[in-house]
Chains A and B, each alone.
Chain A
Amino acid sequence: MDKSYLSAENVSYAYPAREDEESFEVLHGVDLGIKKGEFVALLGHNGSGKSTLAKHFNALLLPAGGKVYVDGLDTMDESLKLEIRRRVGLVLQNPDNQLVASVVEEDVAFGPENLGVPPPEIRRRVDDALRAVGMYDYRLNAPYKLSGGQKQRVAIAGIIAMQPDCIVLDEPTAMLDPRGRTEVLDTIHSLNRGKGITIVLITHYMDEAVGADRVVVMDDGRILTQGTPREVFSQVRLLKAHQLDVPQATELVWRLRREGFDLPECALDTAECVAALEKLLPRPQKI
């Protein structure tokens, strides 16, 4: 494997013991490398350790065993913490709880202000970041008047204003309606393509993972399988064995195939599914 931008080497982590509970190990020796500019989807159901792993990438959590490197910087080094957090931004699930200021543009300015960027430069970055997520027209609004998807885009702008190399998004669409989900996903994809920002998208919606360069599936604190979406989602049997879903289109084609229909091995989205079924069905007679 060539040089990775983010790399986890044999990472294990246990949440510290509480009163009447034993300490709870959630990551058992995870190895993962993510290249610069890559779009990686991290899948897994609740409790699979995907959020815990995400928090290791910007030194919010430190590995109990193993090492995590960001652009070659060791997250265990306390003095590098700010450097690491500037490079890797983390967007959380609840859009309401991550906005600090009562005006959109002031919230976006929060990150660069913390970094001690000179005021005219902050102004420029804030405007750029808001344009990049398509929220420039709302810059003077109060966050509580925005929709969920808009709030989440403002949160993303707040991260972009720090000019990170990589954005990790921890289930950013879990609390949004379908329209908000599309807004956020489109934003993420355009940032990846337009600005070359490395994206790690954590999700349990399989359909969101289809657009990624690489899909990593986690289960019970380990990496279950990884590869291109096509490689991963063609392993329907393996995923099902671990109570994981596949995209709806993939599921339909897989079931029909199991019943003996002559279909390609894997269909990732609706268009592919339709194309596959079209070949199978007789053309309707013109009346």
Chain B
Amino acid sequence: MLSDITLGQYLPGRSLIHRMDPRVKLALTFAFIVFLFVASNFQGLALMVALMLVVLCLSGVPVSQYFKSLKAILFIVLFTAALNLFYGSGRRVWGWKFMQITDGGIGNAIFISVRIVCLILFSSVLTFTTSPTQLTDAMERIMKPLQVLHVKVHEIAMMMTIALRFVPTLLEETDRIMSAQKARGADMESGGLRQRVKSLIPVLIPLFVSSFRRAYDLAMAMECRCYHGGEGRTRMKQLHMTGLDAAAVAVAAVFCAGVVLCAALFPASLH
């Protein structure tokens, strides 16, 4: 049960989006999220949705995967939509005692729902098409300028790499400890929530102890392999930006400019 967990949500492929430089992907995803909030009217939002549909098609990831990631946030979308429905101003459409729905409220609900869905889909494209290693690598390189501010960029990236590496190992270990405790008569399936949380303690303590032992071993192994921080370190895999990345940046820039233009030309749709 625990062993078939896939790391991250990466789906290997050779699509245009897969082949982009992870740094560019990361930066563009961030930019899209910012511009989703810059878009203040339906015209601007329509541009973002159009861009999103193009990216989704280019990613070559099955649509069902995207629906899966949307399913996870369905509740949040419905919840915010419902809240916004009742908190708008404008012409009264429906009312009962102190509650009322206005046309402004309906507009807000739709606008915000679309915004959240776009947000999730954009970030899904990133995680679906970029391997965790590429992602940490890209983060390290993008954050490099922060070193001037004494941010330990290399250390953070190293920690992420190691964490990713040990997720399956620790899951396996948890599985093993649970079996061991069950074999000694531990009951983990029955009882109320309180009881069940309590029954996890005999699993967590050995897991912690063994993690520390692993950490000690790993530190020693890293020392044996001449690890001495990020200084003077080279990387086997170099990241290269290609014409593809330039094109992607150009397309993104056009759409983002469009969003700004829409914001200036048309009145805001949020009430």
Contacts and interface: CB of A to CB of B under 8 A. Distances in A.
Interface of A: 58, 60, 82, 85-86, 89-90, 92, 94, 96-103, 105-106, 109-119, 122-123, 126, 142-144, 155, 158-159, 162
B225 A92 contact: no
B168 A96 contact: no
A197 to B, nearest CB: 15
B103 interface: no
A97 B165 contact: no
Contact of A85 (B7, B217, B223, B233): B223
A111 B225 CA distance: 5
A144 B168 contact: yes
Contacts of B224: 58, 60, 85, 89-90, 92, 98, 159
B154 to A, nearest CB: 11
B236 A98 contact: no
A162 B225 CA distance: 8
Given A98-B217, A102-B133, A103-B133, A114 B235 contact: no
Contacts of B161: 100-102
A103 B164 CA distance: 11
Contacts of A58: 224
Given A113-B236, A114-B225, A116-B234, A100 B220 contact: no
B7 A142 contact: yes
A88 to B, nearest CB: 9
Contacts of A159: 224-225
Contacts of B261: none
Nearest to A107: B165
A99 B225 CA distance: 11
Nearest to A110: B225
Contact of B234 (A90, A97, A118): A118
Task: From A85, A103, A114, name the one whose CB has the most chain B CB atoms within 10 angstroms.
Answer: A114
A133 B7 CA distance: 27
A85 B221 CA distance: 11
Task: From A58, A86, A102, A116, name the one whose CB has the most chain B CB atoms within 10 angstroms.
Answer: A102
Contacts of A86: 226
Contact of B236 (A96, A99, A123): A123
A82 B161 CA distance: 23
Given A99-B221, A144-B172, 15 more contacts: A60-B220, A60-B223, A85-B226, A86-B226, A92-B220, A96-B169, A97-B218, A100-B221, A102-B7, A105-B236, A106-B237, A111-B226, A114-B227, A116-B233, A119-B237
B90 interface: no
Contacts of A103: 133
B214 interface: yes
A112 B235 CA distance: 9
Contacts of B232: 116
B228 interface: yes
A115 to B, nearest CB: 6
A46 B227 CA distance: 29
